[in-house]
Structure 1
Amino acid sequence: MPQHRTADINGLRLHLAEEGEGPLVVLLHGFPEFWYSWRHQLRPLAEAGFRVVAPDQRGYGDSDRPASPEAYSILHLVGDVVGLIHALGEERAYVVGHDWGSLVAWQTALLRPDVVRAVAGLSILPMPRGPVPPLLSTREQTGGRFYWNYFEQPGVAEAEFGKDLDRTFRRMLYGASGDRPEPPAPPLVPPGGGFLDLAADPETLPGWLTEEDIAAYVAAFGRSGFTGGLNWYRSLDRNWELTAAWQGARIEVPALYVVGDRDRAFPGEDRIVPALSAAAPHHHTPVVVPGAGHWVQQERPEAVTAALLGFLRSTA
């Protein structure tokens, strides 16, 4: 079982789940998740000879949740990873992320390659800095219906998600999984509706998701709420401004991309290698997990753990 403790990082208290001894591997969760999304990887990676740490990132779980949205820029998030590595007594680490955690992992490798042995991103490819701020771009393209724009409205998504936590997580976790019967709908919030309208209630939970798992999410977000995690989205345009100096920069450490072929974020196999080669030229062969949706490390834990172990060992 992982050990749980807190660490003081950049003036914040971050909660950590930790297991094993050896080279450090940092596992970064996405939205709306917390350390628990890595529950299937902690022990196998530890038993393979790694020290594995899965934090609740700022705004989530039992970690501190700054009130100001300005405290959630990508520079803050990368700073937390760098601070965590050093607080754990290490100079370098393997950094692995999923969803938003992938974006933080990619950016940590880009901005601070000196502290990253190798980087792996699950579900989300590196996202190059575009010509215009992302929230502005999606607002213009979709009339503000893209889910990022829905999330940027103060209090709106919080009210929807917090109304019935059990329903929220049943819909979110099932609706973005590979077990949903229909293809994923475009992430455009219907006029007058909410984000959860994009998913249906499952008649039964898929095999990878238990009632205990739902209860864990409900308990965690019952304590933390959603504002911290949503503030990450509300910082997207500020991130664009802050990262101008890295326009066109590439990730120069070894990199791995893992994605489920039923993930809404799956770009198609023919697009993965060109995108990776442009952003991270030292990438390894990407891993596409059949039948998995967005929660790939929870839906197909054995396949993801095997892919990560192969990558970590090859870059040791």
Structure 2
Amino acid sequence: MLDEPGHLREGYAEIGDVRLHYVEAGQGPLVVVLHGFPDFWYGWRHQIEPLARAGFRVVAPDMRGYNLSSRPAGVAAYETEPLAADIRGLIHERGAQTALLAGHDWGGTVAWATAMYHPEVVDRLAILNAAHPRRLLEGLHHPGQLRRSWYFFFFDLPELPEAIVHADRWRFFRHFLRDTSPALTPEEIDRYVEAWSQPGAATAMLNYYRASVRTSPKRAEAALRPVKAPTLVVWGQRDRYLGPELAEPSRDDVPNLDRVEYLPDASHWVHHDAPERVTQLLIEFFSPRPTTGPGEGGQA
């Protein structure tokens, strides 16, 4: 199991002025998995060891601001450009030129950005319940998605969100996790509480939302680039926060979309609710594809 000694290697990567904590397991092609909010590397605990056993080297970082990674000051430090640069730097720091990249929630947003801004480092891209930025921009023009996304704007308030999430031993975040993913155990929630309690972590985590809200739609749209990497989207259909219309990106934005895999019984926390199925999908998608030559089904 993950908590037994010897299965996980722990380290820190110096990426410019940012120090990223990560855990690593296995040997083989590099897979980088990015967590969402209010998560940390532990959110991928069900996938790390199986991916390692399948022949991959898995690196699961705490993104900047989270858990044991450093927390740059200021909202601008949490815009998608520096976040994507962190992941490019992490891939290189771990001795690879490219990686297979997966992201959930905010980690999915950062994975989309990495594939757009630094396509040379992303071999294949897997997205779990994270809308393509254009889909999210479109969704926020509709009342239904605006109601689902109320917390984007609440988190942008000064000081009040920090006070509320800190209160009663992180009751707000604990309720958020339990309400959206009943599969989480009390012991697992305690691991999250420990990560949230790192000094300055709450503000840094909330700054992801603040940076997003404070970026004008015109600027956000101007930053979009086509995603060249083959892409798999996995979507838990019981997501209370992102409507199903956000799941499938435009073929103009993602010309090499492999498919959108819907999991009808999973919530926003799809990799917690259906861990074996998500792991299977990732292994299949990330595994080398057989090539065929002339006379074997390929084109002459």
Which TM-score bucket, shorter chain as reference? Answer: 0.7 to 0.9
Q: For 1:286 and 1:244, how far apart are their aligned partners in 2?
A: 23
1:314: how far off?
5.1
Q: CA-to-partner distance for each residue in 1:166-213, whole Å, 9 max, x for gaps?
A: 523431112123xxxxxxxxxxxxxxxxxxxxxxxxxxxx4x311210
1:55: how far off?
0.4
Q: CA-to-partner distance for each residue in 1:78-111, whole Å, 9 max, x for gaps?
A: 0100010111111100111000110110111111
Residue 226 of structure 2 corresponds to residue 220 of structure 1: no
Letter in 1 for 2:57: R
Q: For 2:209 and 2:173, how far apart are their aligned partners in 1?
A: 19
For the aligned residues, what is the CA RMSD? Answer: 2.6
CA contact (8 A) 2:132 2:246 kept: no
Q: For 1:41 and 1:243, how far apart are their aligned partners in 2?
A: 32
Q: For 2:263 and 2:114, how far apart are their aligned partners in 1?
A: 25
Residue 162 of structure 2 corresponds to residue 158 of structure 1: yes
Q: For 1:294 and 1:302, how far apart are their aligned partners in 2?
A: 16
Letter in 1 for 2:25: E
Letter in 1 for 2:196: F
The answer for the alignment partner of 2:69 in structure 1 is: 63
User: Residue 93 of structure 1: which of 95, 99, 104 is its match?
Assistant: 99
User: Residue 313 of structure 1: which of 287, 292, 298 is its match?
Assistant: 287
The answer for the alignment partner of 2:80 in structure 1 is: 74
The answer for the alignment partner of 2:133 in structure 1 is: 127
1:8: how far off?
0.6
The answer for the alignment partner of 1:210 in structure 2 is: 185
Q: For 1:2 and 1:231, how far apart are their aligned partners in 2?
A: 29
1:285: how far off?
2.0
The answer for the alignment partner of 2:177 in structure 1 is: 173
1:241: how far off?
6.2
1:287: how far off?
1.2
Letter in 2 for 1:93: A
Seq. identity, %: 41
Secondary structure at the aligned position of 2:28 is classed as coil
User: Residue 304 of structure 1: which of 278, 281, 291 is its match?
Assistant: 278
Distance 1:78 1:6, change over 3 A: same
CA contact (8 A) 1:118 1:315 kept: no
Distance 1:73 1:307, change over 3 A: same
Runs of 5+ in structure 1 lacking a partner?
178-205
Distance 1:22 1:284, change over 3 A: same
The answer for the alignment partner of 2:294 in structure 1 is: none
The answer for the alignment partner of 1:44 in structure 2 is: 50
Aligned residues: 279
Distance 1:122 1:130, change over 3 A: closer
* 259-268 vs 227-236, which moves further: 259-268
Distance 1:12 1:155, change over 3 A: same
Distance 1:51 1:222, change over 3 A: same
Q: For 2:154 and 2:241, how far apart are their aligned partners in 1?
A: 18
Residue 205 of structure 2 corresponds to residue 229 of structure 1: yes
TM-score norm. by structure 1 comes to 0.81
Runs of 5+ in structure 2 lacking a partner?
1-6, 291-300
Distance 1:244 1:170, change over 3 A: closer
Letter in 2 for 1:262: R
Distance 1:117 1:97, change over 3 A: same
1:157: how far off?
1.2
The answer for the alignment partner of 2:257 in structure 1 is: 283
Distance 1:138 1:64, change over 3 A: farther
Distance 1:288 1:72, change over 3 A: same
CA contact (8 A) 1:125 1:257 kept: no
Distance 1:296 1:142, change over 3 A: closer
* 122-131 vs 51-60, which moves further: 122-131
Q: For 1:292 and 1:314, how far apart are their aligned partners in 2?
A: 27
